[in-house]
Amino acid sequence: MTLTFDSVVKFIRMIVDMLLLWLILYYVLKSLSKNVKMAMLFKGIFFVVLLKLASDFFGLVTIGFLLDYVIEWGILALIVIFQPEIRNVLERLGRSQLLGRHKVLSVDERERVVYEIVSAMDNLRKTRTGALIVIERDNSLNDYIEKSQKIYAAVSSTLLQSIFFPNNPLHDGGVIIQGDQITSACAVFPTSDNARISKRLGTRHRAALGIAEITDCIALIVSEETGRLSLAINGELRYNLTIDEVKVTLLEELGPKKSIVIEEDDSSEKI
C-alpha cells in the first residue's frame, strides 16, 4: 500500500484523537478515585444507561419513555446539582503543571528540607503550637500564594517555628513550601466538608484535608490542643502520627517519580 501525505495526516490525527481521549479518561478516573460524590454520580449514570438498555431489549415501553426524559434533562440537572464537584475537577486540571514539579530536589536537598520540617514539627508539638505546612507537588498552589504573605526564604526549622509563634502576625493560616523554599505564610485554604471527619478536629485539620482533596499537595498539621501530628495527602487525613512516620512519608512522597527499569536477561551476557 502506497503512503500518501493525506493518509499520514489522517493516521496522525487518529493517534492524537485517541491520546486525547485516554488523557481525559485518565484525569476523570483519577479525580473519581479521590471524590466520593463524583464516584456516586458516575455509578448513577451507569445504572440509568444500563436500565435504558434493558428496557429497550425487553420492550418496556413505560420505563423506556421515562428514562428518555431522564437522559434528555438529566445532564442539565447533574451540572446544576454537582456544580461544586465539576468545578473542583476543572480547577485541578487547571492547576496541573505541564512541566512537573516546581523544583525537583536532589537527594541531599530533599533530606535537608525534610529534616528542617520534621525538626520544626517536633519542637512545635512539644510546645503545642498549632501549625499548618503545605508542600506543593505537581499541582500549582499559585492561586493561594497570590492571596497570602510572600516570604521566599530557604526552608529552616527556626523560621517555621518563628512563623507559627502565637505572637507572630503571620501565625494564622498556613505556610506554603515550593521545592526548598518557604514561599508564603498566612495562606487560607478551602475547608473540607467531608462528613467522616471527627467533629473534634478543628479548622486547621479541615483546611489541610480540603487542599489535599483538590490538589496533590502534602499538608502537615500540628494540633494546638493536643500537640498531635497529622498529615493530609491524596484526599485522606492520617491522624496522630509519630514524628518518624511523618519523616518516612515525606521522604517517600517527595522523592523522584519512579521509572520502569528494564534489566537485561542474564542469558544475553557474553560468555
Mean pLDDT of 135-155: 92
Model confidence band, residue 36 (pLDDT cutoffs 50, 70, 90) = low
**Residue 209 domain flag:** yes
**Residue 261 domain flag:** no
pLDDT at 101 over 80: no
Distance CA 61, CA 270 (A): 72
Distance CA 215, CA 227 (A): 26
pLDDT at 186 over 90: yes
**Residue 25 domain flag:** yes
Q: 3-state class of 153 per DSSP?
A: strand
For residue 91, which of 142, 46, 45 has the smallest C-alpha distance? 142
CB 209 within 8 A of CB 219: yes
Cell numbers at residue 143, please? 492561586
Distance CA 75, CA 72 (A): 7
Count: domains in the chain: 2
Domain that holds residue 228: 107-253
How many Cα atoms sit within 13 Å of 2 on the Cβ side? 2
For residue 232, which of 251, 202, 212 has the smallest C-alpha distance? 212
CB 181 within 8 A of CB 209: no
Q: What is the CATH number of the domain that holds 121?
A: 3.40.1700.10
CB 96 within 8 A of CB 139: yes
User: In this structure, are 44 and 165 located in the same domain?
Assistant: no
Element (H, E) at 240: strand 236-241
This prediction's pTM: 0.65
User: In this structure, are 129 and 206 located in the same domain?
Assistant: yes
* In the block, residue with C-alpha cell 478516573: 29
Model confidence band, residue 267 (pLDDT cutoffs 50, 70, 90) = very low
Distance CA 73, CA 63 (A): 16
How do residues 245-266 score in pLDDT, each as one tens digit? 999 999 999 987 654 343 444 4
User: In this structure, are 90 and 116 located in the same domain?
Assistant: no
User: In this structure, are 30 and 68 located in the same domain?
Assistant: yes
Q: What is the pLDDT of residue 59?
A: 85
Q: What is the pLDDT of residue 261?
A: 42
Helix axis angle, 36-58 to 5-32, nearest 10° = 120
**Residue 260 domain flag:** no
Complete DSSP assignment for 192-238: P--TTS-TTS-HHHHHHHHHHHHS--EEEEE-TTT--EEEEETTEEE
Q: What is the pLDDT of residue 30?
A: 66
Distance CA 149, CA 174 (A): 10
* Domain boundary residue, one of 95, 130, 164: 95
* Domain boundary residue, one of 45, 62, 95: 95
pLDDT at 49 over 50: yes
User: In this structure, are 180 and 204 located in the same domain?
Assistant: yes
* Domain boundary residue, one of 95, 123, 147: 95
User: In this structure, are 91 and 20 located in the same domain?
Assistant: yes
Element (H, E) at 31: helix 5-32
* In the block, residue with C-alpha cell 512516620: 245
Cell numbers at residue 72, please? 434528555
Q: Average model confidence (pLDDT) for the chain? A: 83
**Residue 181 domain flag:** yes
User: In this structure, are 15 and 83 located in the same domain?
Assistant: yes
User: In this structure, are 161 and 87 located in the same domain?
Assistant: no
**Residue 115 domain flag:** yes
Model confidence band, residue 139 (pLDDT cutoffs 50, 70, 90) = confident
Distance CA 221, CA 230 (A): 5
**Residue 129 domain flag:** yes
- 129/26: higher pLDDT: 129
CB 79 within 8 A of CB 86: yes
User: In this structure, are 10 and 76 located in the same domain?
Assistant: yes
Model confidence band, residue 57 (pLDDT cutoffs 50, 70, 90) = confident
